[in-house]
Structure 1
Amino acid sequence: MTVKAILEQKGHDVFTLGPNEKLTEAIKILAEHRIGALVITNGDRKIVGILSERDIVRVLAREGAAALDQSVRAAMTPKVNICNENHTVNELMEIMTKGRFRHLPVEKDGMLDGIVSIGDVVKRRIEDVEREAAEIRAYIATA
């Protein structure tokens, strides 16, 4: 299964925020939508960073409550790993495991096209394994 197939099922919607917004606004969005990361864009869907729950914890540990009044830019990860619609589930697992992160923005023609989470990847991988097992059982039953 590819990223394209995942996005066809889950959709291309992504919660984004500008880099100059306050960290408190980012936290509200994360909590309200029960998500773990926001893709940071300049409003033109060009990815300039990603802000995860882990990024927020790090800045709070370093600077305390004063960090809440800072801009997202101060807490975000500016070097964002991305994928495209042709990446496979196995490639996503490798990228996420190697980088130790749980969210991977999808880019198409230099612009944000969606996001894939570790939950999306695990769900699709389980579906693949279950399908393969069913095919093997069917093959054995007809042999």
Structure 2
Amino acid sequence: MRISDVLRDKSHKLVTISPVATIRRAATVMKAENVGALLVQNPEGRLLGVLSERDILLGLASYGSDVLGLSVHELMTTDGPVAAPADAIVETMKVMTDRRMRHVPVVEAGAVIGLISIGDIMKYRLVEKTEENNVLQDLARFSLAAA
């Protein structure tokens, strides 16, 4: 399975925020949109980074309640991995696990086309493993019936 399979069943709405927005505004957008991360883009739509719940929590630990007045660009992750639609889910999951990233932007031809979470990845891995298990059970039943 590929990242494009994950994107096919997700909403195509990209939830973005400006790098100069405050963390308070970012948290409000996250709550309103029921998302755990925001794509940070400049006015031209270029991806600058991702701001996640974890980034905000780490900022809270460092700055206390003053974190709410900071700008998104002060806390966002700028060096995180990106995925392409043709990437294998299992490889993307490995990168996310190794880099401890729960959200990864999906980029095609230089444009952001989606944001996937580790939850999205796990959902598809479960489907993949369930299908594999069903095939193996059918094969075992066929082998027993033929014997």
TM-score by length of 1: 0.94
Higher mean C-alpha deviation, range 39-48 or range 94-103 = 39-48
Q: 1:16 corresponds to which residue?
A: 16
CA displacement, residues 78-106 of structure 1 (integer Å, 9 cap, x when unaligned): 22310100111111110111000110100
CA displacement, residues 15-73 of structure 1 (integer Å, 9 cap, x when unaligned): 11010111111000112222111110013332101101111111121112122112111
Q: 1:121 corresponds to which residue?
A: 121
Matched, 1:45 2:52: no
State the one-letter code of the partner of 1:12: H
Aligned ranges 1:1-143 → 2 under 5 Å? 1-143=1-143
Q: How many residue pairs are counted as aligned between the two chains?
A: 143
DSSP-derived class of the 1:141 partner? helix
Structure 2: stretches of 5+ with no match in the other structure? none
Structure 1: stretches of 5+ with no match in the other structure? none
Kindly indicate whether the alpha-carbon contact (under 8 Å) linking 1:12 and 1:115 is maintained by their aligned counterparts in 2: no
The whole-number CA distance in structure 2 between the counterparts of 1:26 and 1:99 is: 23
DSSP-derived class of the 1:10 partner? coil
Shift of 1:123: 0.5
State the one-letter code of the partner of 2:15: F
State the one-letter code of the partner of 1:82: V
- Cα RMSD (Å) of the superposition? 1.2
Shift of 1:11: 3.4
The whole-number CA distance in structure 1 between the counterparts of 2:136 and 2:32 is: 43
The whole-number CA distance in structure 2 between the counterparts of 1:111 and 1:45 is: 8
Shift of 1:142: 1.9
